[in-house]
Amino acid sequence: MTDPIRGKTWWIVGASEGLGAALAQALDARGATLILSARSQHKLDTLAQTLSAATVVQMDVTDIHSVANAAKQTQHADAMLYCVGTYEPTNAKDWDSEIVEQMIDTNFTGAARVLAHVVPNLVARGSGNIMLIGSLSGYRGLPDAIGYSASKAALMHLAENLFIDLKGSGVTVQIANPGFIKTRLTAKNDFNMPQIMTPKVAAHHVIRAIDSQRFETAFPRPFAWVFKWGRYVPRSLFNRLF
């Protein structure tokens, strides 16, 4: 099996902090050349200085022109990892259109904007890797997750579409669905978060998923089983857990 990481150029979208930064460090340690993208030029520059082979391409996934400009500079990449995410606990009874739409635009529509450039390029080349970072929250609707949960469910569905359509093209499509990761985003939660992971531990799971080349990976177990297999239990029973 060909190593999907060593010697390859990976474009990490959402690399400035949290899981994205941890993945940059993990991929760098495995011998990948990196292109780092996010909105914060300063954070990307600081991260790049700690890596052996990384360049910075600033990009805002909610801006179509910014995405198009970044895509021109990253056409040579062998793989793309979409790790952008924004989150704000939001209950439907307290609907805030700006917050909800921002989560959808960043977590899902932004991915579609980037993929609009990446997919045709990799298909034309006949090889490449696409790894999307979803969430366990995408498996079932959850309380106080208007916007976030739906955007991650949409991203997971998009990954399934890509996987079917790109079969036989030489392009490997994958999605990793993590549970709670200790970041500035989960710091907003005021409830218990079972099996919460550091970004470094979560990055380890994603790297293992990339190596496996399997389509879907959910972690950490056994917490992930509650969500993945919870799709097949009666909704009333699943909802009681939350």
Amino acid at 22: A
Residue 171: per-residue pLDDT: 98
Average pLDDT, rounded, for the chain: 92
Find out whether the peptide bond into 220 is cis, omega within 30 degrees of 0: yes
Spans of all domains in the chain: 9-240
**pLDDT tens sequence across 43-81:** 999 999 999 999 999 999 999 999 999 999 999 999 999
Residue 94: per-residue pLDDT: 93
Prediction pTM value: 0.92
Give percent above pLDDT 90 in the chain. 76
**pLDDT tens sequence across 188-200:** 877 787 778 999 9
Would you call 71 helix, strand, or coil by DSSP? helix
Amino acid at 90: T
For the segment 14-42, the average pLDDT, to the nearest whole number, is 97
Catalytic residues: 148
CATH topology of domain 9-240: Rossmann fold (3.40.50)
Sheet containing 216-219: order of strands: 54-56, 33-37, 9-13, 79-82, 128-133, 171-178, 216-219
Q: Is 125 exposed, middle or buried (0-12, 13-18, 19+ CB in 10 A)?
A: middle
Least confident span in 139-148, 158-167, 175-184, 214-223 = 139-148
38 CB-near residues (< 8 Å, 6+ apart): 13, 14, 15, 16, 17, 20, 44, 58, 59, 84
